[in-house]
């Protein structure tokens, strides 16, 4: 999808969904990544993993479907699809750490030019640290896709030469989807895939990270 | 030895001051609420609680914390929209916190239950949660040494038990239950229903009775 305007959150989710290979096993992080599920093609065969012990997670539960024993990682009620399976936490993270998940999608505070990810703590002295499964996912999934705004509210880029926030994982992000541009990150560096409402030159001027 | 079927109050008498207590659940799914209530009533203090979260709202774990019984929490995700009890104690310096990545938390308990002395995990390499820990490069990849977490007592919630103590679970309420059951000296399971020996198909048992010491029936 090309656009001459910055993408909405829905459009970002639609673009990410289109890049998920058919039949992939995918973990969607809490928050914005959850929206990707709404744009998966029927028949894509994509199977959703939730780290609290399920493959084959279905859409949010409503009304009579709500079962307190069936929730996603955000503790929201969800449904199960035919072919679903349940397993305990150690198995759930073993399948993650063991490289069996194809893609995980997460939000971020910062991503570095080497693919380092910072998304669990701002490092503020009074913050209560809480990491959940983010560090396990970051190094476990075969590919880590990040969705975020490219610039913070103060205009500072969140794609940076080196993360200043505490790291979640090193060299783990392979794709970065933002409201104004999407990137591929690999051992060679950062590669621009597409822009939305910003020119390549303006992007280069506003980022401290070189890209091809 | 088969599990003993007792009331919640009798079950939690196993907990002593200073114990490490593993508490199942992910949010409210799989949370052994009645066992926690009984533990509050029981009065044991100076506890280390190992659980995914650090209490929600004002009930369950949050009530145990509010009662001043907990010295330390080991968990992956204490900060939530409704974790005000923990937040207040933490900011007042009245409670210790060890944050552990969720997969390492589960695997450290699995290791305890499986007799593993320690293991190298790739999770948290290069992050503040690996600081001060031994690392090793194996086949070109860096790992962090993680030690087991063993409990004196595990409080878990399951769906159905037979009188042996074999357990089945429901959906994502399984979460930490099967792992915690293996990792504690005394495992106490609250279940919705206790059936006779032979009434659970051995093929569907998730937690074998060998791991379960006490059963408390809490009908839904």
Could you report the predicted ipTM of this complex, rounded to two decimals?
0.96
Compute the distance between CA of residue B186 and CA of residue B175 in angstroms, rounded to an integer. Answer: 19
Residue B76: both structure tokens together:
């992956």
Contact A90 B107 (CB under 8 A): yes
Query: Quick one: fold of A9-206?
Result: Glutaconate Coenzyme A-transferase (3.40.1080)
Q: Mean pLDDT across chain A, nearest whole number?
A: 96
Q: How far is B155 from B170, CA to CA, in rounded Å? A: 17
Å between B72 CA and nearest CA of chain A: 14
Provide the H-helix boundaries in A112-212: 134-140, 200-206
Q: Is the pLDDT of residue B76 over 80?
A: yes
Q: DSSP code of B143?
A: E
Query: Tell me: the pLDDT tens digits for A141-179?
Result: 999 999 999 999 999 999 999 999 999 999 999 999 999
Percent of chain A at pLDDT exceeding 90 = 93
Residues 49-88 (B) with a CB less than 8 A from some CB of A: 52, 76-80, 86-87
Reported as a single tens digit per residue, the pLDDT across A12-24 is: 999 999 999 999 9
Gap from A23 CA to chain B (nearest CA, Å): 23
Q: What is the spatial distance between Cα A13 and Cα A2, in angstroms, rounded to a whole number?
A: 14
Q: In the predicted model, is pLDDT for residue B69 greater than 80?
A: yes
Question: Which residue reads 């001459």 in tokens?
Answer: A4
Torsion of CA B148, B153, B159, B165, to 10 degrees: 100
Handedness of CA A62, B218, B15, B173 (dihedral sign): negative
* Alpha-helical runs (H) found in A36-166: 89-97, 134-140
Instruction: Inform me whether the pLDDT recorded for B218 exceeds 70.
Output: yes
Q: Say if residue B49's pLDDT is above 90.
A: yes
For B16, the 3-state DSSP assignment is coil
Hey, what are A129's tokens? Answer: 């640290």
Find chain A residues with C-beta within 8 A of B101's C-beta. Answer: 131-136
A–B interface: beta-carbon pairs under 8 A:
142
Query: Rounded to an integer, what distance in angstroms lies between the CA atom of residue B217 and that of residue B220?
Result: 9
The β-bridge partners of A3 are A196
pLDDT at A78: 97
Query: Could you give the CA distance from residue B119 to residue A100 in angstroms, rounded to a whole number?
Result: 20
For an interface test with A, the pick among B93, B101, B116, B138 (most A C-beta atoms closer than 10 Å) comes out as: B101
pLDDT value at position B80? 84
Q: How far is CA A15 from the centre of its chain?
A: 12
User: Which residues of chain A are within 8 Å of residue B169 when distances are taken between CB atoms?
Assistant: 86
Taking CA atoms, B172 is separated from A12, B26, B106, B176, B187, in Å, by 29, 8, 15, 10, 20
Q: Is the pLDDT of residue A75 over 70?
A: yes
Pairing of strands B47-50, B20-23: parallel
Work out the percent of chain A whose per-residue pLDDT is above 70: 99
Average pLDDT over residues B58-78: 96
In this predicted structure, what is the pLDDT of residue A1?
A: 61
Establish whether A51 is a catalytic residue.
yes
Of A70, A96, A129, the CB nearest to B172: A70
Placement of tokens 């279905």 in the chain: A58
Contact residues, B window 13-52, toward A, CB-based 8 Å cutoff: 26-30, 52
Give yes or no for a contact between A60 and A76, defined as CB atoms under 8 angstroms apart: yes
Question: What are the start-end ranges of the E strands in B70-140?
Answer: 70-75, 96-99, 119-121, 135-138
How confident is the model over B157-171, as pLDDT tens digits? 999 999 999 999 999
- Dihedral angle over CA of A151, A154, A156, A159, nearest 10: -30
Q: Is the predicted pLDDT of residue B209 greater than 70, yes or no?
A: yes
Q: With contacts defined as CB-CB under 8 Å, which chain B residues touch A134?
A: 101
The whole-angstrom separation of Cα A9 and Cα A148 is 9
Judge whether residue A184 has pLDDT over 70: yes
CB A132 within 8 A of CB B75: no
| Residues of A whose CB is below 8 A from B173 | 68-70
- Which of B29, B129, B176 is the closest to A68 by Cβ? B29
Distance in Å, alpha carbon of A68 to nearest chain B alpha carbon: 6
Domain spanning B4-117+149-217, CATH class: alpha beta
Mean local confidence (pLDDT), B145-168: 98
Mutate to test the interface with B, among A48, A58, A136 (most CBs of B within 10 A): A136
Three-class DSSP category at B181:
helix
Chain length of chain B = 220
Distance between first and last Cα of chain B: 27
User: For the packed helices B102-114 and A89-97, what is the interaxial angle rounded to 10 degrees?
Assistant: 110
Strands A25-28 and B135-138: unpaired
Q: Which residues of A touch B94 (CB under 8 A)?
A: none
Tens-place pLDDT, residues B79-117: 888 999 999 999 999 999 999 999 999 999 999 999 999
Give me the pLDDT at residue A2, please.
Answer: 66
Structure tokens at A185: 């990150």
Using CA atoms, how far residue A66 sits from A60, A168, B81, B189, B219, in Å, is 9, 33, 21, 24, 19
């Amino acid at each position: 999808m090309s656009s001459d305007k910055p993408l909405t959150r829905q459009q970002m989710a639609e673009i990410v969904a289109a890049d998920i290979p058919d039949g992939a096993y995918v973990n969607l992080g809490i928050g914005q990544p959850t929206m990707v599920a709404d744009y998966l093609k029927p028949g894509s065969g994509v199977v959703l993993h939730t780290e609290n012990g399920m493959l084959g997670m279905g859409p949010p539960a409503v009304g009579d479907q709500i079962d307190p024993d069936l929730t996603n990682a955000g503790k929201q009620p969800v449904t199960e699809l035919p072919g679903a399976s349940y397993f305990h936490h150690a198995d759930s993270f073993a399948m993650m750490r063991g490289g069996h998940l194809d893609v995980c999608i997460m939000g971020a505070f910062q991503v570095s030019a080497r693919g380092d990810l910072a998304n669990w703590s701002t490092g503020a002295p009074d913050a209560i640290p809480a990491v959940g499964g983010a560090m396990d996912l970051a190094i476990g999934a075969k590919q880590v896709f990040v969705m975020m705004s490219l610039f913070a509210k103060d205009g500072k880029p969140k794609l940076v030469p080196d993360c200043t926030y505490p790291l979640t994982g090193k060299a783990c992000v392979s794709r970065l989807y933002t409201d104004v541009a999407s990137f591929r990150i690999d051992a060679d560096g950062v590669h621009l895939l597409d822009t939305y409402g910003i020119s390549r030159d303006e992007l280069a001027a506003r980022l401290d990270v070189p890209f091809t | 030895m088969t599990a003993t079927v007792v009331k919640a109050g009798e079950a939690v008498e196993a907990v002593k001051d200073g114990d490490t207590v593993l508490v199942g659940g992910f949010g409210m799914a799989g949370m052994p609420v009645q066992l926690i209530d009984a533990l509050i009533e029981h009065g044991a203090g100076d506890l280390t609680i190992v659980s995914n979260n650090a209490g929600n709202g004002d009930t369950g774990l949050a009530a145990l914390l509010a009662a001043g019984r907990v010295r330390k929490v080991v968990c992956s995700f204490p900060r939530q929209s409704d974790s005000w009890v923990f937040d207040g104690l933490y900011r007042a310096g009245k409670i210790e916190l060890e944050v552990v990545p969720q997969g390492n938390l589960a695997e450290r308990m699995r290791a305890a239950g499986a007799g593993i002395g320690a293991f190298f995990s790739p999770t948290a390499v290069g992050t503040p949660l690996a600081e001060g820990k031994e690392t090793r490069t194996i086949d070109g990849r860096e790992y962090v040494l993680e030690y087991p977490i063993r409990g004196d007592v595990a409080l878990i919630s399951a769906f159905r038990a037979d009188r042996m103590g074999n357990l089945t679970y429901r959906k994502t309420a399984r979460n930490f239950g099967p792992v915690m059951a293996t990792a504690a000296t005394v495992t106490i399971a609250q279940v919705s229903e206790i059936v006779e020996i032979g009434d659970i198909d051995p093929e569907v048992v998730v937690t074998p009775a060998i791991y379960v010491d006490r059963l408390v029936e809490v009908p839904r």
